[in-house]
């Protein structure tokens, strides 16, 4: 398939084989690594993918946007993946048809998110993410969040595409082989980044109501988030939203733990934001 797959990685030897195996059909696969100390490079080369070392200088661009703009991409379409994501046969077939359309420049995908071995079908039916797009039509937005949190990859930045976009219904599998201890550690790091980002967002006005009715999933999510971050009791609201309103209780015991941990993540963000304000 005429697609370049870009996979951002660092110490992903546990997840990378399944990810690479799921995109063997792509004409080009780029693994952009931030200096792994495990077998990431070896596995990349064993699967016939291109290995590229990225050294972050604390500025823009970050890892994925660097891969997009540095002349590495050879195919007319780009698919962005994380190492713990896999492309199912159904999604592959949908993409094969999608890239033949002349009137669409980008496609939103949605996760099939696995947690503790169970699909979070209700509690974490994650919003649409722009992951497949025509090369030269899309890049990551610059949120001016470079040093905060130490992230050298675009964690919360979104791809912005110049041109019409559509959605693909088959889900993108997200199933990390990492332990729960590692997952909680990463969530703690995410909360530091989110606290700084939220401090910036609260200084900005709420986007116009037109965002909510734009039909653009990214604009809708930004509007909803701008309202949410201004509400009191956000940790409790997060739990009620995921476990009750979105029926996370249907995801069983794993769903209960997930909803509690997401609420805890929101509590960490609020506490770190409070700490930042006191320090200033």
Q: Does 190 lie in the same domain as 75?
A: no
User: Could you say which of 174, 205, 221 is where a domain stops?
Assistant: 174
Q: Does 237 lie in the same domain as 162?
A: no
- Rg (C-alpha) for the chain, rounded Å, is 19
User: Could you say which of 120, 148, 174 is where a domain stops?
Assistant: 174
Residue 150 pLDDT more than 60? no
The answer to whether the CB of 7 falls within 8 A of the CB of 82 is yes
Q: Does 131 lie in the same domain as 48?
A: yes
More confident site: 222 or 163: 163
DSSP character for 20?
H
Q: Is the dihedral of CA 61, 66, 70, 73 positive or negative?
A: negative
Q: Does 153 lie in the same domain as 205?
A: no
- CA–CA gap between residue 15 and residue 182 (Å, rounded): 13
Q: Does 114 lie in the same domain as 50?
A: yes
pLDDT mean across residues, the chain: 93
Name the band, by pLDDT with cuts 50, 70 and 90, for residue 251: very high
**Domain span at 146:** 3-174
Q: Does 138 lie in the same domain as 257?
A: no
Q: Does 67 lie in the same domain as 96?
A: yes
Name the pTM for this structure.
Answer: 0.90
DSSP character for 127?
P
**Can you name the residues that pair with 7 across neighbouring β-strands?**
31, 81
Q: Does 157 lie in the same domain as 52?
A: yes
Residue 143 pLDDT more than 90? no
3-class DSSP state of 5 = strand
> Are β-strands 111-115 and 118-119 bridged in parallel, bridged antiparallel, or unpaired?
antiparallel
User: Could you say which of 174, 196, 230 is where a domain stops?
Assistant: 174
Q: Does 248 lie in the same domain as 202?
A: yes
What pLDDT, on a 0 to 100 scale, did the predictor assign at position 148?
56
| Residue range 21-65, pLDDT digits in tens | 999 999 999 999 999 999 999 999 999 999 999 988 878 889 999
Q: Count of domains in the chain?
A: 2
Name the band, by pLDDT with cuts 50, 70 and 90, for residue 173: very high
- Domain of residue 74, CATH code: 3.90.550.10
What pLDDT, on a 0 to 100 scale, did the predictor assign at position 147?
60
Residue 149 pLDDT more than 60? no
Q: Does 211 lie in the same domain as 138?
A: no
Q: Does 112 lie in the same domain as 168?
A: yes
């Amino acid at each position: 398939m005429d697609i370049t797959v870009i996979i951002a990685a660092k110490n992903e030897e546990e997840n990378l084989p399944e990810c690479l195996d799921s995109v063997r059909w792509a004409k080009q696969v780029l693994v952009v690594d931030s200096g792994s100390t495990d077998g990431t490079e070896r596995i990349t080369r064993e699967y016939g993918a291109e290995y590229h070392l990225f050294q972050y200088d604390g500025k823009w661009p970050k890892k994925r946007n660097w891969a997009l703009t540095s002349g590495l991409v050879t195919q007319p379409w780009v698919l962005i993946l994380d190492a713990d994501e896999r492309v199912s046969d159904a999604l592959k077939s949908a993409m094969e048809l999608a890239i033949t359309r002349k009137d669409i420049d980008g496609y939103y995908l949605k996760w099939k998110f696995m947690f503790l071995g169970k699909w979070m079908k209700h509690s974490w039916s994650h919003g649409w993410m722009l992951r497949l797009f025509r090369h030269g039509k899309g890049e990551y937005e610059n949120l001016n969040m470079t040093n905060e949190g130490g992230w050298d990859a675009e964690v919360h930045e979104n791809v912005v595409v110049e041109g019409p976009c559509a959605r693909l219904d088959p889900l993108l599998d997200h199933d990390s082989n990492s332990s729960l201890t590692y997952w909680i550690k990463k969530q703690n790091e995410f909360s530091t980044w989110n606290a700084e980002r939220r401090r910036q967002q609260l200084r900005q006005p709420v986007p116009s109501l037109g965002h909510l009715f734009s039909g653009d999933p990214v604009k809708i999510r930004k509007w909803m988030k701008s309202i949410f971050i201004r509400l009191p009791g956000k940790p409790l609201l997060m739990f009620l939203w995921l476990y009750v309103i979105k029926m996370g209780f249907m995801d069983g015991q794993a769903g209960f733990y997930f909803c509690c941990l997401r609420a805890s993540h929101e509590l960490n963000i609020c506490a770190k934001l409070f700490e930042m304000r006191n320090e200033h």
